[in-house]
């Protein structure tokens, strides 16, 4: 793919009317334009943005790290694989440093993968936003999409019937006000949320969290926080590859990110819950350094005297909407629709969902097939997804900075649930069709109800842990074959619905096993004497698990929903990373291992 220079750029000869006008040419707007062009080559598209190229590299916007769905969106849906691989960095997964932030860095329990081979080429990426947005704007122009830069959208006059909408904008250089007609208007103005504000659709998300971030020249590498003499620590992830992960340094109510960028800079950010950390204690660079000194001293010492290239902040970043799509031919995408939380980097996933639904609605409209039912489905699916994510994040933030073991198991559990639900239905376009989606509802509902049960258990475990179960290094892909298998199964596309439903059912079986294993570990940690209540071989009702023994009978814990299966393929690999100082357990494992492989549970 050729990268264009800016000198050759000329203002487009604008049409009076377009099939689609996209207000805002940030990442959501320009990716939607490309997706529309690839799907509907004949339609006319205009993208308008306040900012003109060249956009600054490295120090442009926040949102640099992709996970599976977002990476798939760039490489497959938008057909940018060669470009992304050539000009951006591969990502070595999500990596977390948990435990006591005041301890020497090398002593903190670590969760992360060890090398790139484990991804079997299904990579995720670290994106330099300035570079990406410059290049995508150029690719769009080459593809015949009109781009109006340096112009600020003032208003959108929406119409009810077949008449086109009017988008009113001001040219920032000449101060002239002009307008253009549009069959479809898409709001991609990010936090400006043009349509949401105009139509009063905004919805606050429950808890407030805030963030600041800055970019530094050169490498900020967690490997530098541990002396080279700690050879065992360095050998866990050879060749300083930790640098390529999105590194999270976690403490109570906060996490700090380190993300490498292809421009050679590193992005550093602080995200904190307002309930635990007052935003004004870290909302300037100077204060952020003081805050880091208090909460993440190893990193603060390492960063001392380095000057940031920028410093940005967003207090209370989470928001949602009551409606994002309309049969009246408007849609909201990206942060103009909703944003939940940056932990686990879901921003591009949500852009993929809203952009794909918008593309489908526009396609149906152009074929005279757009119905209220399809629009309602799109709204319900998108807003429910945001609501679900909100709930999940509330629970996860309650685990952050507390017991390393519960956070480690949550990261595995959360990834498996997400791959077997959202990834499956979104990567295979099921979400675009209410009839197809309905076929998945029964199995998805079972997975979600189990997920809810396990999440509650993890939160209760975290509150009651005796710290009996520990780990030093937890490789969630390389050392847990069942996780790797699930990732390979679900982070795939072009499958038939029956194959997908069968895949979800297989996942449900695995999740049923993992839920029981997590339960047994939780019991071992919090009330080991109760382990004797379970007769071997253990097989329970996963939907009845809890840390309240008085409820076990009533919740049907001892009445499994399925025939017994062996828990060992899930328990044994977990046991390789997790060790226990509960002596009766250790002795039992040693005895059983000597006889017949690693024991399960008690
Ligand atoms: C702290 C934090 C960390 C994050 N980290 C990640 C991450 O690691 N991975 C991830 O996937 N996501 C992440 N996200 C989310 C990610 O940043 C967003 O999903 C993404 O940037 C949203 O893109 P957008 O195009 O909607 O908005 P923007 O990129 O903000 O684009 C909006 C565009 O609209 C233009 N505009 C606004 N108003 C007007 C107007 N009136 N007229 C004309 N143009 C206008 C602006 O100039 C801008 O170009 C993070 C978010 C936060 C808050």
Q: Predicted ipTM?
A: 0.99
d(CA 193, CA 157): 15
Sign of the Cα torsion 519, 523, 524, 529 reads negative
**Which H or E element spans position 391?**
helix 372-399
pLDDT of 3 reads 52
* Ligand 1 atom closest to the CA of 334, numbered from 1: 26
From 178, 310, 313, 342, give the residue whose CB has the most ligand 1 atoms within 8 Å, as the site to mutate: 342
Centre of ligand 1 to C-alpha 236, Å, is: 36
Side-chain half-sphere CA neighbours of 98 within 13 A = 25
Q: Do 516 and 541 meet the contact criterion of CB atoms below 8 Å apart? A: no
Whether the bond into 537 is cis, omega within 30 of 0: yes
CA angle 550, 553, 556 (to 5 degrees): 130
d(CA 384, CA 379): 8
Every domain range in the chain assigned CATH 3.50.50.60: 17-62+129-203+318-389
Centre of ligand 1 to C-alpha 318, Å, is: 12
Given the candidates 3.40.50.300, 3.40.50.1100, 3.50.50.60, 3.40.50.150, the CATH classification of the domain at 17-62+129-203+318-389 is 3.50.50.60
pLDDT of 581 reads 67
**Which H or E element spans position 24?**
none
Q: Do 485 and 547 meet the contact criterion of CB atoms below 8 Å apart? A: no
pLDDT of 448 reads 96
* Ligand 1 atom closest to the CA of 271, numbered from 1: 1
The CA-to-CA distance between both ends of the chain, in Å, stands at: 58
Centre of ligand 1 to C-alpha 190, Å, is: 5
d(CA 511, CA 9): 53
* Ligand 1 atom closest to the CA of 27, numbered from 1: 25
Fill in the DSSP letter of residue 266.
Answer: E
Residue nearest to atom 44 of ligand 1 (CA): 49
Every domain range in the chain assigned CATH 3.30.9.100: 90-122+206-314
CA angle 513, 518, 524 (to 5 degrees): 130
Chain centroid to Cα 308, Å, comes to 26
Binding pocket residue ranges, ligand 1, CB within 6 Å: 24-29, 48-51, 61-66, 70, 152-153, 188-190, 192, 211, 269, 271, 314, 317, 334-336, 342, 345, 347-348, 351
Centre of ligand 1 to C-alpha 393, Å, is: 20
In the chain, which residues have pLDDT < 50? 2, 5-7, 584-602
Centre of ligand 1 to C-alpha 348, Å, is: 10
From 31, 128, 189, give the residue whose CB has the most ligand 1 atoms within 8 Å, as the site to mutate: 189
Centre of ligand 1 to C-alpha 496, Å, is: 34
Given the candidates 3.90.1150.180, 3.30.9.100, 3.30.300.170, 3.40.50.720, the CATH classification of the domain at 90-122+206-314 is 3.30.9.100
Centre of ligand 1 to C-alpha 50, Å, is: 13
Helix axes 497-526 and 404-418, enclosed angle (nearest 10) = 170
d(CA 445, CA 44): 40
For 382-424, the pLDDT digits (tens) are: 999 999 999 999 999 999 999 999 999 999 999 999 999 999 9
pLDDT of 86 reads 96
Q: Do 357 and 365 meet the contact criterion of CB atoms below 8 Å apart? A: no
Residue nearest to atom 6 of ligand 1 (CA): 63
Centre of ligand 1 to C-alpha 354, Å, is: 14
Whether the bond into 72 is cis, omega within 30 of 0: no
User: Which residues, other chains included, contact 512 with Cβ-Cβ below 8 Å and sequence gap of 6+?
Assistant: 450, 542, 561, 562
d(CA 511, CA 418): 12
Residue nearest to atom 15 of ligand 1 (CA): 347
pLDDT of 574 reads 96
Centre of ligand 1 to C-alpha 258, Å, is: 19
* Ligand 1 atom closest to the CA of 67, numbered from 1: 11
Residue 530 Cα distances to 62, 299, 516, angstroms: 48, 42, 15
Sign of the Cα torsion 25, 27, 29, 34 reads positive
pLDDT of 1 reads 52
Cα–Cα nearest to 285, from 272, 266, 304: 304
Residue nearest to atom 18 of ligand 1 (CA): 347
Residue 240 Cα distances to 22, 119, 515, angstroms: 42, 18, 34
Centre of ligand 1 to C-alpha 191, Å, is: 7
From 62, 197, 348, 355, give the residue whose CB has the most ligand 1 atoms within 8 Å, as the site to mutate: 62
SS3 579: strand
Centre of ligand 1 to C-alpha 129, Å, is: 10
């Amino acid at each position: 793919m050729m990268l264009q220079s800016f000198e050759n750029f000329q203002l487009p000869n604008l049409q009076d009317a377009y099939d689609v006008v996209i207000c805002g040419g940030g990442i959501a707007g320009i990716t939607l334009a490309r997706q529309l062009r690839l799907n509907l080559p004949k339609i006319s598209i205009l993208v308008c943005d306040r900012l003109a190229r060249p956009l600054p590299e490295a120090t442009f916007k926040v949102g640099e790290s992709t996970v599976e769905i977002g990476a798939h969106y760039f490489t497959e849906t938008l057909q940018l694989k060669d470009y992304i691989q050539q000009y951006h960095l591969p990502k070595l997964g999500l990596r977390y440093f948990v435990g006591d932030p005041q301890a020497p860095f090398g002593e903190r329990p670590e969760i992360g993968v060890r090398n790139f081979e484990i991804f079997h080429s299904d990579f995720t990426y670290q994106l330099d936003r300035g570079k990406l947005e410059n290049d995508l704007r150029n690719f769009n122009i080459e593809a015949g999409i009109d781009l109006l830069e340096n112009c600020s959208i003032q208003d959108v006059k929406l119409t009810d019937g077949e008449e086109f909408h009017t988008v009113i904008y001001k040219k920032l250089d000449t101060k002239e006000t002009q307008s253009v007609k549009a069959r479809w208007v898409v709001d991609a103005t990010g936090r400006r949320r043009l349509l949401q504000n105009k139509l009063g659709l905004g919805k606050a998300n429950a808890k407030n969290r805030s963030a600041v971030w800055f970019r530094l020249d050169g490498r900020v590498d967690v490997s530098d926080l541990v002396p080279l003499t700690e050879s065992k620590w360095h050998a866990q992830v050879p060749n300083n590859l930790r640098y390529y992960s999105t590194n999270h340094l976690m403490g109570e109510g906060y996490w700090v990110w380190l993300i490498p960028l292809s421009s050679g800079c590193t992005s550093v950010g602080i995200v904190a819950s307002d309930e635990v950390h007052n935003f004004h204690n870290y909302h300037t660079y100077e204060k952020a350094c003081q805050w880091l000194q208090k909460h993440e001293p190893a990193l603060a010492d390492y960063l001392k005297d380095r000057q940031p290239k920028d410093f940005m902040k967003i207090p209370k970043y989470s928001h949602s909407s009551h409606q994002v799509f309309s049969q009246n031919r408007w849609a909201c995408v990206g942060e103009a629709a909703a944003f939940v939380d940056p932990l686990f980097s879901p921003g591009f996933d949500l852009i993929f969902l809203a952009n794909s639904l918008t593309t489908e609605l526009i396609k149906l409209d152009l074929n005279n097939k757009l119905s209220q039912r399809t629009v309602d489905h799109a709204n319900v699916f998108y807003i429910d997804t945001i609501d679900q994510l909100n709930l999940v994040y509330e629970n996860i933030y309650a685990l952050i900075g507390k017991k390393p073991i519960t956070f480690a198991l949550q990261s595995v559990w959360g990834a498996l649930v997400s791959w077997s639900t959202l990834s499956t239905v979104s990567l295979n376009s099921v979400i675009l069709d209410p009839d197809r989606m309905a076929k998945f509802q029964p199995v998805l509902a079972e997975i979600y109800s189990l997920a809810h049960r396990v999440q509650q258990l993890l939160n209760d475990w975290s509150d009651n842990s005796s710290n009996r179960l520990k780990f030093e290094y937890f490789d969630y892909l390389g050392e847990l074959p069942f996780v790797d298998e699930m990732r390979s199964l679900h982070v795939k596309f072009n499958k038939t619905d029956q194959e997908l439903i069968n895949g979800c059912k297989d996942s449900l079986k695995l999740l049923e096993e993992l839920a029981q294993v997590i339960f047994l570990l939780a019991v071992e940690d919090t009330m080991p004497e109760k382990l004797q209540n379970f007769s071997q071989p253990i097989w329970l009702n996963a939907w009845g698990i809890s840390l309240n023994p008085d409820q076990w009978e009533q919740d049907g814990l001892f009445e499994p929903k399925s025939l017994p299966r062996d828990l060992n393929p899930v328990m044994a690999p977990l046991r390789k990373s997790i060790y226990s100082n509960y002596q009766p357990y250790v002795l039992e494992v040693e005895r059983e291992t000597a006889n017949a492989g690693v024991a399960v549970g008690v």
